[in-house]
Structure formats: structure tokens, C-alpha cells
Amino acid sequence: MQNFNKNIFILLFVFFSLKVSAQNESFSYPVKIPVFLSANFCELRPNHFHGGIDIKTEQRIGVPMYAAMEGFIYRIVVSPGGYGNALYIEHPNGTSTVYAHLDRFRDDIQAYVKEEQYRQKSFAVDLSPNKELFKVAKEELIAFGGNSGSSGGPHLHFEIRDTPTQDALNPLAFFPDIRDNIAPRIYSVSIYPISENGHVNFATFPRKYQAVGKGNNYSLSQAPEVSVLGKIGIAVNANDFYDGSHNPCGIYSAELKVNGNLIFGFTFDRMPFSDTRYMNSHIDYSESVERGSRIHRMWRLPGNQLNIYRQDLTDGIFEVSDGEIKNVELILGDLAGNKSTVRFTLKGSFMDIRRPAIANSRFFPYDEENYIVTPELEFFAPKGAFYDDFYLRYDSLPKSTTTFSAIHKIHNDGTPVHDAVTIRIKTSGLPEQLISKAFIAKISESGNRSYVGGTYRNGWFTSETRSLGSFAVIADTIPPSINPLSIKNNTLTESSRIRFTINDNLSGIQSYEGKINGEWVLFEYDAKYRLLVYHFDSSRLTLGQRQKLELRVKDNAGNTSIYEANFWK
């Protein structure tokens, strides 16, 4: 019997060893430099989970990029924001890989893209080449790393997707040899009173406690025991780190135990892109808005549709009665198996809690349609717009000298909105000649105004938005600014390119178009730097003569600026 068990153990060991070996052989790294990560899968980002891993490129632009497996390029995207220059490769094993924030594609791919840009007369393109056009072998050169799109520095954003669903898969499951000997670091634990008569340390709002500890074991600083009552929720602020990198990354898994019983847990193995905005229900959204800190909620809101949670456990909320003791453990892990634990005790302590009523508020059930209708505002939230029931507060202020409507304060921007809500605002004192320049704007507490948009009909503006806050109708009559960087007094100051910065301080840039001698030319746009660049192309432009340049830039309110120059090239 012992020999039988030994043989079974050996077979299982060989099986799993071969499985890991096969995973290692399935994909090669998309770079041929040492691999260090600056971000990992499902790291918490604004309004979404990070869909892949970020591989450092030694702070350099131009590092060669290689296909991680044989396949064919099925999509090529060029965008002034987002992923910037990106390639998508489909592989025979049912997966696809994505390579984003590239500086440029290899020459034949770049030539194909440029032809399409000129054909469409657009810098931004989303192309679907025939699968026979760009077949690639494993480790074949495909592009060069960069900082395009919404990147904050040179790196490769790399994804592995399930081809049929396009769900993002955790790339680290396919690269188990990335060095990670560092357990997650726990910074703080927040404790929330969920029930109406509940409290945390005799307060009706959440309390945050700093985590302290040695090694992988933590406790709450100056709070060995916390007085609470009623239904309780827990949230944790933590990061993970990788060998050779100081960049904070996201955790892979978390578990919540109460009195030794596992009641809640999640892991980040897979993420449908259609679900990624539910990140706002996974975190304490108001904490992220007010303090910029994204913390993992260890309970599930009723409108949260994510599939990352253990289905055989509870929703994570537990109750502490008067005189009751609850020992709580949070266990956070990474994919390499490193774990950290924070332990603390909750003691039930009765206190007569009377929460004050919220003035000018109305109850909004998350699973129903909700409305506000006044003589000057109509607000509609579809079922699924919110993640939980709440009392929405609405106030209005008289129109100011810079608005053409009352200012409508619809709750606050600390409450997340999933599906878009509709806002209709009645105008007041809007001149006929400004209707085409007017729109709904969101007004921050500091007075900053941001473009929401809208269409005008019979004295009302209507628009959709995915945030709450203060809104009013305003007008933008100032055209965008155009600042030449390569032309002075009709003379080129750069020999190989023409550069401009463009900006609009209110409604934002909607479009631009550059022409030389009346013909459309390709100006590349980097939105984060507000930078336009045209590279002289002798195959499309006759050189050795005077050139007439015209650049038109239009904002979202329809204001247009025109820059013209005549220069020798």
C-alpha cells in the first residue's frame, strides 16, 4: 500500500511538473532584456482593473518587441490615448496576446498602417488585417517599445486573452519563473458600520487603523481590540512587490476569516473587459475620490457582478452583538504563494445610535429605475446604475454669472455610477447665438469646469454621464490655442519634422486636420503632451519648393483655430 501511494505521488509530481513545463514552453517573453514588472494583473486603476502586466524597458524607447508565440496579427490600433500603438496576435492554442504603448511597428506593419491612415485621413485607426497578411513566428520581431497613448513612461503593456471571449487572463500564470519572493505589504485596515444602528469605536462612519508588524504578520497599531456593534464590513489597503522592482503592484488574492471560519475571498485569475468597471464596487470608491487611495472591500455590494469571489462563501458582512468577541484574520497572497496576515479583535459594545436624517434626500434602490423631476432638472438612473441602495441628496443653486442654468447638485462624486445616467437641464438666459457653443459641464467644489456635452432642444440640454456631482449649462466661445514649435517667421527650425502643441482650456479638443499644399498629411497626436508631429515624407510630398501649411484645430463647442505658414522645404 505504501508503494502504491508512493507511485501515485510520483505520478502526480511528474504530471504537475510537466504542466508547469508546458506553460513555460507555451509563451516566450516578448522582450529579450531582463524582465522586471512595474504593474501586474488586476491592479486597481481609475474605473478599471489593469488588464495585463507592465514590463519595464530600462526607461528606454525603441526596445525590440517579439511575438510571444506563433500566430497572426488580427488587430492593429493607433490612438492618441489609451493603449496608443498596439498590436493584437491570435495564437493556435486559443489565446491572444496584446502589446501596447509601442513606439512604432516593424517596417512592413508600419507601412501598412500608414497607408490606411492616409486612406482614412485619420491618425487614429483600428485595423483588422487579413490573417494571412502578417503571420508571425514565435520570438519574431513585431515592434519597438515606447510611451504612446496614456502611458506614464516607457514600458510594454502585455496581455494574454482567451480568444473566444477576449477575457483577460492573468499573464503571471503563464510565466511562473518571474522572481517574486516578497509577500504583500499591508498598510491599513478600515472597519465599516453597515447597519443603521451600528458603530465602529462609537462612530457611525468607517474607521481606519494602520497595520504594523514584522515579517508577514501584522496587527492594528494602537488598537488590539476595537469596539463595534451590528453588521460590519472590512476593507484593506495593500500592495505586492516583485524582486528587482520598487514599483507597488496589486495583490492576487485575499481571504477573510472570522473566529477561524473562512467567510469571504477573491482571486484575480480572469477578468472580462465588460466587467472591469465593476472595480468601482470592489473598492471603497469614496475613499479613492477623496484621498486617492484604492482599497479592497472585503464584502460584496449587491450590485457587484464580478466573478472573482468565492461562490461557496458569504457576501463578507458579519454581525457583532453586544458583548460578543470576534477574532478577525485577513490573509493576502500573490501568485507565487507568498502570504501576509493581519489579525485583530472586535468586541461588541452597545451604544444607542441615532443617525441624523439627510436633508433634501430621497431613497434610491440600486435594483430599480430612479428619477428626479423638477421644473429645471430631469434626472434618470436606469436599473444597474448603482451598486447599492442609498439616499441621494439633491440641491440647486441659482444661476451664476458664468452659467446659463441653475447649478444642480446631484449628490456627490464619491458615489460610483456604473451604467450612464441621463441629465436634462433647463437653460436660463442663453442667447440664441450661444446655443451652438453651450453644453452641460460638471463643476467641482473648487470651481473647475469639465465638459460633459449634450444636445439642445426646446430650451433644455440633455446628456449622459457616469458620475454624480454639480452640473450646469455653460458656453465656450474661446477657440483652441496652437503653438508652433518648429516654425518661426515662416522658417523651419527643425529639418525632419513639424511640431505643434495644441490646447483647449474648457470643452477640450475634438478634432484637428493638417494639410500641406492642400493635401491631407499625417500629424501624429500624443494627447498627454498635447503634441502634434508631422514627419516629412518625400514619397508623398514634393520637396525642394515652398510649402503651404494649414492646421485646423476644433474644440467640442465648435470653436476653430487655424494656423497657416509658408516655408521652404
Burial code of 418-431, b = ≥16 C-beta within 10 A, e = fewer?
Answer: beebebbbbbeebe
3-class secondary structure, 197: coil
- DSSP 8-class letter at 355: P
What is the spatial distance between Cα 208 and Cα 279, in angstroms, rounded to a whole number? 21
Are 520 and 121 within 8 A, CB to CB? yes
What is the spatial distance between Cα 337 and Cα 536, in angstroms, rounded to a whole number? 53
3-class secondary structure, 551: strand
pLDDT of residue 13: 42
3-class secondary structure, 289: helix
pLDDT of residue 151: 96
- The string of pLDDT tens digits covering residues 50-72 is 999 999 999 999 999 999 999 99
Q: Which amino acid is at 414?
A: G
pTM (2 d.p.): 0.92
Transcribe 381-439 into DSSP letters: E-TTS-SS-EEEEEEEE---TT-SS-EEEES-TTS--SSPEEEEEE-SS--GGGGGGEE
User: How wide is the angle at C-alpha 402 spanned by C-alphas 398 and 405, nearest 5°?
Assistant: 45
Burial code of 56-89, b = ≥16 C-beta within 10 A, e = fewer?
Answer: bbeeebebebbbbbebbbbebbbbbeebbbbbbb
Q: Which residues of the chain have pLDDT under 50?
A: 1-25
- Domain spanning 27-173, CATH architecture: Distorted Sandwich (2.70)
Q: Alpha carbon 130 to chain centroid distance?
A: 30
Are 280 and 416 within 8 A, CB to CB? yes
Q: In the structure grid, which three cell numbers stand for residue 99, read together?
A: 502589446
How crowded is residue 535: how many other Cβ atoms within 10 Å of its Cβ?
Answer: 12
Burial code of 367-380, b = ≥16 C-beta within 10 A, e = fewer?
Answer: eeebebeeeebbbb
3-class secondary structure, 317: coil
pLDDT of residue 359: 80
Domain boundaries, given as residue ranges, for the chain: 27-173, 185-348, 361-475, 481-568
No. of helices (H) and no. of strands (E), the chain: 4, 46
pLDDT of residue 360: 83
Q: Which CATH number fits domain 361-475: 2.60.40.3880, 3.40.50.720, 2.60.220.30, 1.20.1250.20?
A: 2.60.220.30
Q: Are strands 421-426 and 48-49 parallel, antiparallel or unpaired?
A: unpaired
Are 102 and 82 within 8 A, CB to CB? no
What is the spatial distance between Cα 385 and Cα 277, in angstroms, rounded to a whole number? 12
pLDDT of residue 25: 47
pLDDT of residue 43: 98
Are 96 and 74 within 8 A, CB to CB? yes
Q: In what order do the strands lie in the sheet with 509-516?
A: 519-521, 509-516, 546-555, 560-568
pLDDT of residue 352: 87
Task: Annotate 534-549 with three-state secondary structure.
Answer: EECCCCCCCCCCEEEE
Q: Alpha carbon 315 to chain centroid distance?
A: 25
Q: Which residue reads 452659467 in cell numbers?
A: 403
Q: Which CATH number fits domain 481-568: 2.60.40.1220, 3.10.105.10, 2.60.450.10, 1.10.10.10?
A: 2.60.40.1220
